[in-house]
Amino acid sequence: MRKAHEEPHRINSVGWLRAAVLGANDGIISTASLIIGVASAHAEHGHLVLTGLAGLVAGAMSMATGEYVSVSSQADTEKAALAEEQAELEADGARELRELAAIYVRRGLDMALAKKVAQALMAHDALGAHARDELGISEVTTARPFQAALASACSFSVGAALPLTVTALAPRQKVVLSLAATALVSLAILGGLAARVGGAKVGPGVVRVAFWSALSMGLASSVGAIFGAS
């Protein structure tokens, strides 16, 4: 027996893609900017490597914590909404049936067909039907705190590993230039890849991430040069 064909859609990967791209971008930008700022203050090479390593650990934990708290709040909101909807279904199922049918009427069905569709869906999974069509909660959009936190922490670490590796391998006199060049190139590639996977135009994504990344590293370098030791 052949399995039903499931057509892939880019929207199905939006959740993890957003967290992964955000984490990798932040890992590269923040770690490179941090090291460039300290390097512009004329710190020793060993101190730069230590700064990058500390930035990687702190940044990964910060990203994971922030993402977990944010998505957990979304998950709590979804759970509360589902509990409220379940209570309404148990209290007045007929009213909820009319409410669901009205939604389908607004989407273009005539009332008779809308009622049949609502009845069929509620007989199969009443809460699921209302969650999807009334509340906008589905398998694609549902909040997953642990998944988002892990994706953010891992992607940040992968991103931060690039400037940290460049710092460890590059001569002290060329750390700033090497970091700026590799960070901008890798961020441009990442921005273009994310845009392509998401179905957006590649050019604007590359320009956007390159501009703000260059600005971040430039400001960090200025701070280091102004307040650093001569």
Instruction: Give tens-digit pLDDT for 140-161.
Output: 556 678 888 888 889 899 999 9
126 belongs to a structural domain = no
149 belongs to a structural domain = yes
Kindly tell me the number of DSSP H helices and DSSP E strands found in the chain: 7, 0
Count of the separate structural domains present in the chain: 1
166 belongs to a structural domain = yes
DSSP state at residue 132: I
pLDDT one-digit tens code per residue, 70-80: 888 888 888 88
41 belongs to a structural domain = yes
61 belongs to a structural domain = yes
So what's the pLDDT on residue 2?
43
Beta-carbon neighbour count of residue 104 at 10 Å?
19
171 belongs to a structural domain = yes
The predicted model gives 38-54 an average pLDDT of 92
Region of poorest pLDDT, from 10-14, 31-35, 97-101, 197-201: 10-14
So what's the pLDDT on residue 11?
47
34 belongs to a structural domain = yes
Q: Write out the H or E segment, with its range, that includes residue 197.
A: helix 175-197
Question: CA angle at residue 42 from 39 to 45, to 5 degrees?
Answer: 60
So what's the pLDDT on residue 75?
80
Domain of 190 in residue numbering reads as 13-80+145-227
So what's the pLDDT on residue 165?
94
pTM exceeding 0.95: no
The answer to whether residue 49 scores a pLDDT higher than 60 is: yes
Residue pair 6/139 in contact (Cβ under 8 Å)? The answer is no
The answer to whether residue 98 scores a pLDDT higher than 80 is: yes
First-to-last CA distance in the chain?
Answer: 75
Average pLDDT of the chain is 82
132 belongs to a structural domain = no
Query: Can you tell me the distance from the alpha carbon of 203 to that of 210, in angstroms, rounded to the nearest whole number?
Result: 11
pLDDT one-digit tens code per residue, 1-19: 344 444 444 444 555 566 6
